[in-house]
Amino acid sequence: MTGEIWSLSKKQANYRPAPRKDVRCDVCRFMFPPLALGGCRLVRGLIQGSGTCDRFTPRRATPPKA
């Protein structure tokens, strides 16, 4: 992953408003800090916590429902 740091433009990552809360940037493992506005380890520029992209990866795996 080291070669990927800030390697994508918002267009390349398909950055857009998130359709659901569970795929928002503020719950993605690559956003720092996970707030309303911050940065991303993969996508260049200022990132809104309410956005998402094709590289979204959850910070924590969701536990299976019992």
Cα–Cα distance, 66 to 57 (Å, whole number): 23
What is the domain partition of the chain in residue ranges? 2-52
Q: Looking at the whole model, is its pTM more than 0.85? A: no
Q: Which residue has the higher pLDDT, 60 or 54?
A: 54
pLDDT at 61: 65
pLDDT at 15: 98
Cα–Cα distance, 8 to 39 (Å, whole number): 12
For residue range 4-37, list pLDDT tens digits in order. 777 899 999 999 999 999 999 999 999 999 889 9
